[in-house]
Structure 1
Amino acid sequence: MTEKPELILKYRNDVIIGRKITKSSASELFNLDNEFLLNLSDSANFITRHFQGSRVDIEELANIKKNFCSEDCVFCSQSAFFNTEINGYQLPPPEEIVQQALKAKNEGANSFCLVAAWREPNTPDFEKVCKIIEEINKKVGISIECSLGFLTAKQAKTLKKLQVKRYNHNLETSRSKFSEICSTHTYQDRVKTLKIVRNAGLEICTGGIIGLGETRKQREELIFEIAEFEPEEVTINMLIPMPGTPLELQTPLDITEILRVFSTLRFLLPKSIIKISGGREVNLKDDGKKLLLGGANGIISTGYLTMGGNPIKKDLEMIKEINLET
């Protein structure tokens, strides 16, 4: 019988030579005993460095429309279903977002993502977003990504024409868990949008939130579902329990469970950007160092949709401390 460390190395070497790891092999890795997680993490880091080099992709978000979303996702403080007492606002003028994008670029961000809290953009709002994108392209020159909810094929093609590089639409959680976290749309609705985005020629960013009360088996299910899309970018959030939401008392995941997700994803998606997203400052005492040396090669910096994050200067220092680059 092959010892676990040797087995991890075998799977690592398979990935390095371009052999796609099987689902059963990935499952074996994901469910290793804790004593072998360092081996798993080190091998995931080896794969990352082989395919991605030492560069960490840094992204900043702009929450361009906050609060009053029509969906009832139980983790979200922007849902109109819950009284979370956050301040809401509608789409700001383009020049305000242009200044945010310029600041992000000057601080060292590689990309800038426009995010809106709604089910889907109506025609007037979509036209306003397009105007914002045009102005950023004209005055800033930074890689633009969008996360605008459900899209029509026509809207996706318009974003492609505007040189939007990548569209984010998270699966949120596994198919088997989804009905427990949202009732106003389905898992299949989210899959449909990802297919529309891909067909329009946009790159895909998808992922989810871990720590929603799902089982380890459901986290495993999620990473396999993410991998099926072969996304150019994966974004993994760790739940920050928000007061006023049904998950406000949810217990955080242990770092070992978080590490399993990132490391196994790297074996499944060796050439993708795997990004540590919301919750790292709260859930990870080292702000992500372990994950950046265990499969991840990207972070979201400065802040998230309804709360602040590390200043980008602090994140740049963290990346330098572990001998990685931006």
Structure 2
Amino acid sequence: MKVQKFIKECQEKVFSGNGLSFEEAHELFNIPDENLKDLAQCANEITRDFNGQKVDVEQLNNIKKNACSEDCTFCGQSAFFDTGIETYQLPSPEEVVLKAEKAKQEGAESYCLVAAWREPSPKDFEKVCKIISQINNKVGISVECSLGFLIKEQAEKLKKLNVKRYNHNLETAKSKFSEICTTHTYEDRLNTLKIARDAGLELCTGGIIGLGETREQRFELTMELARIYPEEVTINILVPVPGTPLELQTQLPNSEIVRIFAVIRFLLPESVIKISGGRELNLEDSGEELLQSGANGIITSGYLTMGGNEAKKDREMIEKIGLKA
């Protein structure tokens, strides 16, 4: 009863607008597994109070695939690892428009253009801008981008093109980052988020859980996200890619996945909290439980290097649990 009382007290602080202290958040993150259902229920109540019944459904388009210059150990698109993943360069605007139209018809509210590189070259950036303009003119779906590191002028140009949100994940905790990537720093990532926000873009950031990090490091990432307070948090669950250094990484227990989603909701009551890559393979229910434990968004119809549920299947899943796609 003592733990249940503490969880409810934390929930009341969220509802009152006071927020949690670092110590309270840490205690919440480390409650016993037997109290996870109480934590998840309270997180769900916060979600419904601040965000209603709607689930944010997004589709991605990996517009430039593979041969990335960075050595992120989880990534099948890194040029450092032989993963056998197909490669291609930027497609024509017409090709992307057709896919964006299909995404809109399937019920996606947003369409995120993702490119596998450290940062866009001036030439490639202009190509992406043409693609965005075509989507704006011909489709009318909310466009988001994940194009790697940005400079100020690029971020301002994306804002002028009515890009709503910029995605740039922290990937993991600062204390873990040097084990995951050596070709750039954690501060580089934080700097791009600042550039995007200063340009007036909404932020989408998060990371990947299951990289071999400790629970304390997952808490560290959670508190960094709370500090940034992005409009959207995206949490991926590692799917080990053959050929990468993490190909033999063991799967996280479901309890640890529920735990981070629920606590993020306590700390970011108004944000979209999105279940991203890996949900279909790591979760038996494709995300039903998490959508009732703090999450209120999904990516549907596949990810950067792997497939996913069809949009229709995800829509049926959302409606089955009484939410709205």
Question: What TM-score do you get using the length of structure 1 for normalisation?
Answer: 0.99
Q: Tell me, in whole angstroms, the C-alpha distance in 2 between the residues paired with 1:10 and 1:222.
A: 23
State the partner residue of 2:310: 311
State the partner residue of 1:82: 81
Q: Tell me, in whole angstroms, the C-alpha distance in 2 between the residues paired with 1:300 and 1:190.
A: 22
Q: Does 1:182 pair with 2:190?
A: no
Q: Tell me, in whole angstroms, the C-alpha distance in 2 between the residues paired with 1:3 and 1:201.
A: 44
Question: What TM-score do you get using the length of structure 2 for normalisation?
Answer: 0.99
- Offset from partner CA, 1:167-196 (integer Å, 9 cap, x none): 000000000000000000000000000000
Q: What are the residue-to-residue correspondences of 1:1-326 with 2, within 5 Å?
A: 3-326=2-325
Q: Tell me, in whole angstroms, the C-alpha distance in 2 between the residues paired with 1:199 and 1:41.
A: 34
- Offset from partner CA, 1:100-129 (integer Å, 9 cap, x none): 100000000010000000000000000000
Q: Tell me, in whole angstroms, the C-alpha distance in 1 between the residues paired with 2:314 and 2:70.
A: 32
Q: Which amino acid aligns with 1:152?
A: I
- Residue 237 of structure 1 and its aligned partner are, at CA, apart by 0.1
Unaligned runs of 5+ residues in structure 1 are: none
Q: Which amino acid aligns with 1:308?
A: G
Q: Tell me, in whole angstroms, the C-alpha distance in 1 between the residues paired with 2:130 and 2:111.
A: 15
Q: Tell me, in whole angstroms, the C-alpha distance in 1 between the residues paired with 2:175 and 2:296.
A: 28
Q: Secondary structure at the match of 1:234?
A: strand
Q: Which amino acid aligns with 1:322?
A: I
Q: Tell me, in whole angstroms, the C-alpha distance in 2 between the residues paired with 1:307 and 1:3.
A: 44
Q: Which amino acid aligns with 2:232?
A: E
Runs of 4+ in 1 over 3 A off after TM superposition: none
- Residue 24 of structure 1 and its aligned partner are, at CA, apart by 1.0
- Offset from partner CA, 1:33-59 (integer Å, 9 cap, x none): 001000000000000000000000000
- Offset from partner CA, 1:55-84 (integer Å, 9 cap, x none): 000000000000000000000000000000
- Offset from partner CA, 1:2-36 (integer Å, 9 cap, x none): 71101111110111121111111111111000010
Q: Tell me, in whole angstroms, the C-alpha distance in 2 between the residues paired with 1:220 and 1:163.
A: 34
For structure 1, which segment, 17-26 or 135-144, has the greater mean C-alpha deviation from structure 2 after superposition?
Answer: 17-26
Q: Tell me, in whole angstroms, the C-alpha distance in 1 between the residues paired with 2:180 and 2:150.
A: 21
Q: Secondary structure at the match of 1:313?
A: helix
**Equivalenced residues, count:** 325
Q: Tell me, in whole angstroms, the C-alpha distance in 1 between the residues paired with 2:251 and 2:193.
A: 29
- Offset from partner CA, 1:197-252 (integer Å, 9 cap, x none): 01000000000000000000000000101111110000000000000000000001
Q: Secondary structure at the match of 1:228?
A: helix
Unaligned runs of 5+ residues in structure 2 are: none
For structure 1, which segment, 17-26 or 44-53, has the greater mean C-alpha deviation from structure 2 after superposition?
Answer: 17-26
Q: Which amino acid aligns with 1:227?
A: A
Q: Tell me, in whole angstroms, the C-alpha distance in 2 between the residues paired with 1:276 and 1:27.
A: 22
Q: Secondary structure at the match of 2:24?
A: helix
Q: Tell me, in whole angstroms, the C-alpha distance in 2 between the residues paired with 1:88 and 1:25.
A: 46
Q: Tell me, in whole angstroms, the C-alpha distance in 1 between the residues paired with 2:46 and 2:314.
A: 23
- Residue 283 of structure 1 and its aligned partner are, at CA, apart by 0.3
Q: Tell me, in whole angstroms, the C-alpha distance in 2 between the residues paired with 1:229 and 1:26.
A: 16
Q: Secondary structure at the match of 2:104?
A: helix
Q: Which amino acid aligns with 2:237?
A: M
